[in-house]
Structure 1
Amino acid sequence: MTSAAPGTTDDSTGIWATIRDAPLAVKALLVGVFVNKLGWFLQVFLVLFLTTSKGFTDVQAGTALGVYGAGSVVGLIIGGSLSDKVGPRAAVMISMFGMAGFVLAIAYVPSYPAVVVVVALAGAVGQFYRPASAALLTELTPKNRQVMIFAVYRLAMNLGTTAAPLIGAALVSISWNLLFIGEALAALAYAVVAIVALPKRRPVADTPADPVTGEAVAPEPTGGYLAVLRDYKYVLFLLCMFINAAIYMQYLAVLPLHMKADGLSTWWFSAVVALNGFIVITCELLVTKVVQHWPARMVAIIGFVLLGGGLAFYALPGGIAIFVVGTLLWTLAEIIAGPTMFAYPGMAAPQPLLGRYVGSAHAMFGLGSALGPFLGVWLWNSVGPQVWLWCGLAGAVGVVAAYFGMSSGTDEPAEEPVLDITPAAEPLPSESS
């Protein structure tokens, strides 16, 4: 299977061709993450559970949610290292089995300190799977299809995340315990997918095999995250991920405050958010079909121009029309650049450090998502609507970082996947001899 030349179209990289021809393991990852996100209840309902069911204060509940977010960032970093050391399949299994146990524990631990500890562990362990899943998608997908497969992966996550609050609300109406049981079952379902369908590493000539399992024993990556930090261009890309997340999150942090200050009802804010979600779910794959053939650096730069410009547009007077147009602009940034930005770590990473490159990118995006709302609200209280101009300036910094930190992403020919795509439930060649 060959890559299309840069700037040309290639039927083999279309939406349905990419999904149809994907290995079983890739399809399993897509199904697994969708099912897992259908049970994504903890972060959505944690504050409500701790205040109404456990009787903790609003401050205690908010602190617990912050601890969960901090644990998630740490978990992404650990997950990248774990994926490199034990393989993506094992990392997903550890993540999902651990998440199931910690989520169930939250419903039964008796004291607030115990709740905080378990929530932190759930946040950390529950994120191990993300770098592993992304690394596996990269390894099992030809380079010319990686942007599209990440767009499909994002769609599966978005669909599951959109439906999860509705399912969670239905479960809560019956029992809070059902909420945690439901999330644990969703995690276990993904673990089963990993056991049955995700591949083991393929033994190669220069790689020793485990005498018991027959699996290749991957050489220990040298340098760890220090090696990632020595890649100064990639560090600039990590800055891109942080800036992207930090200013993107202002639609949840500052936008509702601005619309309320302008006398617009909560309904209008909900409508703007729903507009973004509808466009992302319905249009991202179609847009990716075109932009996946563009140089990665150019896609990221266009994304930052639209993201920063769309948010800066909110600073203009004009009422609801300004909010709608601004939202359309940064939503266009999301559907153009999102899949490429999350596929890029796999393009830039040396094979032994793939998990760490992916994990560091996800961690920086998570850190930006956590700090962005705090910084945005602080600026709103300090300078009012001019906060949007600061977002535009941050977008300009992102443009510069992307220009100097990213390659085109189309310079290298497609490579063969490095993992055996035989489902784990079937014997590998080394096991059948």
Structure 2
Amino acid sequence: MSTGTDGSTEIWATIKDAPVPVKALLVGVFVNKLGWFLQVFLVLFLTTSKGFTDVQAGTALGIYGAGSVLGLIIGGSLSDKVGPRAAVMISMFGMAAFVLAIAYVPSYPAVVVVVALAGAVGQFYRPASAALLTELTPKNRQVMIFAVYRLAMNLGTTAAPLIGAALVAVSWNLLFIGEALAALAYAVVAIVALPKRRPSETAEVQDTVAGETPAANGGGYLAVLRDYKYVLFLLCMFINAAIYMQYLAVLPLHMKADGLSTWWFSAVVALNGFIVITCELLVTKVVQNWPARTVAMIGFVLLGGGLAFYALPGGIAIFVIGTLLWTLAEIIGGPTMFAYPGMAAPKPLLGRYVGSAHAMFGLGSALGPFLGVWAWNSVGTQVWVWCGLAGAVGIALAYFGMSRAAASDEEPAVDITPAAEPLPSESS
């Protein structure tokens, strides 16, 4: 089997040669996602257990989503300031406390506040985890390691509703205790296995931005916004998420209007999940060394084209073919799109670059369903044509906003472990 020094980007070689902190992140996020119950069961909990109205429950879920977007932005800054390890610990300990509080706070205003805090604090870890994956992985393996990371998240997220349903059958309180324990498990992983940032590197993050003085860097996120090409990429992330979410917002309405049962919609969604989980690593093995811009553009062609395909007549066959097309977009473009912020970021702003990308994807995921349902009610099946046009805009933004550099450009990973404790891949 290849070692970490031969440059192999095979799936197993990438996993095997990854340093201990990277493996710990993969395990930690999987365990954390196994306990991802709150967003799935919040509406049911608030209506059946707390006795709130449907509108109140839906509002609370929306506030949770808004808090999550804000948390991604804060998490990126926190990662740059205190280091990824500390950011993950703050996120997971805070999430455990706020999730438990939801089960016991007595009034609706208190529930809303705690839900917002849980949504925000619970997302601090994501920019930190992605930043650490970037720092500790050689550039030629970053796309593959993000594909593995996505697989860990998808597996955990797929299993979570089934585990949650079993816990709810016993007690609603057990559901929140389970999510808190999953968060604490990730916190323990961070304490034990994630590296501390050296004081010299903390000072670099605080005092330097790509060779600029603190006065010149504009306070972090302003420096990100001054990178106009990266801003175009951020718009790519927003469009990608906004039109991708239509498979949950508009697709079930369209299939119902065509007289197809809920079973058919469930089958189409299950088809997407099965292909992503079983095929994404294999596809990433092929495309990981392609230029990131090329991969993103291909992804938008397939995403916009697959959704636009739904506008054609033809019954269930059209829905299956369209789903296959945009699923191919997901497994081709997903790992590269989420690895790209680490490729584009100056090291002192890595957390903010990653956090802003995740936040724009989260914002698109939150607004996309509202926009899609409004368009469906206004123009019917033409909404899919609009999705195709939005995909074309994404192609242009990717072309002008992303670097031509290939994902496989060699660049040493940043070592943020104490000098006396080399990573396994460095001592092999």
User: Does TM, scored on the shorter chain, surpass 0.5?
Assistant: yes
Q: Deviations over 1:22-71 (max 9, x none)?
A: 00000000000000000000000000000000000000000000000000
CA gap of 1:363–1:214, structure 2 versus 1, over 3 A, is: closer
Residue 288 of structure 1: how far off its partner (Å): 0.1
Q: Retained in 1: the 8 A contact 2:139–2:413? A: no
- In the alignment, the residues of structure 1 paired with residue 371 and residue 53 of structure 2 have an alpha-carbon distance, to the nearest angstrom, of 24
Q: Retained in 2: the 8 A contact 1:85–1:218? A: no
- In the alignment, the residues of structure 1 paired with residue 179 and residue 50 of structure 2 have an alpha-carbon distance, to the nearest angstrom, of 19
Residue 425 of structure 1: how far off its partner (Å): 12
Q: Deviations over 1:153-174 (max 9, x none)?
A: 0000000000000000000000
Residue 202 of structure 1: how far off its partner (Å): 3.7
- Residue of structure 1 equivalent to 2:202: none
- In the alignment, the residues of structure 1 paired with residue 364 and residue 194 of structure 2 have an alpha-carbon distance, to the nearest angstrom, of 31
Residue 10 of structure 1: how far off its partner (Å): 8.5
CA gap of 1:416–1:23, structure 2 versus 1, over 3 A, is: farther
Q: Deviations over 1:179-228 (max 9, x none)?
A: 00000000000000000000012459999xxxx999999999x5310000
Q: Deviations over 1:229-274 (max 9, x none)?
A: 0000000000000000000000000000000000000000000000
CA gap of 1:422–1:353, structure 2 versus 1, over 3 A, is: closer
- In the alignment, the residues of structure 1 paired with residue 9 and residue 171 of structure 2 have an alpha-carbon distance, to the nearest angstrom, of 45
Q: Retained in 2: the 8 A contact 1:199–1:419? A: no
Q: Retained in 1: the 8 A contact 2:301–2:391? A: yes
Residue 426 of structure 1: how far off its partner (Å): 7.2
CA gap of 1:290–1:430, structure 2 versus 1, over 3 A, is: closer
Q: Retained in 1: the 8 A contact 2:89–2:191? A: yes
Name the TM-score, length of structure 1 as normaliser. 0.90
CA gap of 1:42–1:11, structure 2 versus 1, over 3 A, is: same
Residue 20 of structure 1: how far off its partner (Å): 0.1
CA gap of 1:371–1:206, structure 2 versus 1, over 3 A, is: closer
Gaps of 5+ in 1: 1-6, 409-413
State the secondary structure of the residue aligned to 1:13: coil
Q: Retained in 2: the 8 A contact 1:198–1:421? A: no
Q: Retained in 2: the 8 A contact 1:47–1:61? A: yes
CA gap of 1:108–1:382, structure 2 versus 1, over 3 A, is: same
CA gap of 1:427–1:351, structure 2 versus 1, over 3 A, is: closer
Alignment of 1:352-391 (within 5 A): 352-391=348-387
Q: Deviations over 1:69-124 (max 9, x none)?
A: 00000000000000000000000000000000000000000000000000000000
Q: Retained in 1: the 8 A contact 2:138–2:413? A: no
Gaps of 5+ in 2: 200-204
1:398 aligns with 2:394: yes
State the secondary structure of the residue aligned to 2:8: helix
1:200 aligns with 2:201: no
- In the alignment, the residues of structure 2 paired with residue 254 and residue 181 of structure 1 have an alpha-carbon distance, to the nearest angstrom, of 34
Q: Retained in 2: the 8 A contact 1:200–1:215? A: no
Q: Retained in 1: the 8 A contact 2:241–2:365? A: yes
CA gap of 1:424–1:101, structure 2 versus 1, over 3 A, is: farther
CA gap of 1:299–1:377, structure 2 versus 1, over 3 A, is: same
Q: 1:423 aligns with which of 395, 408, 418?
A: 418
Q: Retained in 2: the 8 A contact 1:198–1:424? A: no
- In the alignment, the residues of structure 2 paired with residue 306 and residue 30 of structure 1 have an alpha-carbon distance, to the nearest angstrom, of 28
- In the alignment, the residues of structure 1 paired with residue 180 and residue 14 of structure 2 have an alpha-carbon distance, to the nearest angstrom, of 31
Residue 152 of structure 1: how far off its partner (Å): 0.1
1:153 aligns with 2:149: yes
Q: Retained in 2: the 8 A contact 1:213–1:431? A: no
CA RMSD in angstroms, aligned pairs only: 4.4
Residue 128 of structure 1: how far off its partner (Å): 0.2
Residue 370 of structure 1: how far off its partner (Å): 0.1
Q: Deviations over 1:285-324 (max 9, x none)?
A: 0000010010000000000000000000000000000000
Q: Deviations over 1:299-356 (max 9, x none)?
A: 0000000000000000000000000000000000000000000000000000010000
- In the alignment, the residues of structure 2 paired with residue 304 and residue 223 of structure 1 have an alpha-carbon distance, to the nearest angstrom, of 33
- In the alignment, the residues of structure 2 paired with residue 188 and residue 201 of structure 1 have an alpha-carbon distance, to the nearest angstrom, of 21
Q: Retained in 2: the 8 A contact 1:272–1:324? A: yes
State the secondary structure of the residue aligned to 1:11: coil
Q: 2:180 aligns with which of 169, 180, 184?
A: 184
Q: Retained in 1: the 8 A contact 2:207–2:214? A: no
CA gap of 1:200–1:107, structure 2 versus 1, over 3 A, is: same
CA gap of 1:133–1:120, structure 2 versus 1, over 3 A, is: same
Q: Retained in 2: the 8 A contact 1:25–1:199? A: yes
CA gap of 1:216–1:417, structure 2 versus 1, over 3 A, is: farther
Residue 132 of structure 1: how far off its partner (Å): 0.2
Q: 1:165 aligns with which of 126, 138, 161?
A: 161
Q: Deviations over 1:381-409 (max 9, x none)?
A: 0000000000000000000000000012x
- In the alignment, the residues of structure 1 paired with residue 324 and residue 274 of structure 2 have an alpha-carbon distance, to the nearest angstrom, of 11
CA gap of 1:300–1:213, structure 2 versus 1, over 3 A, is: closer
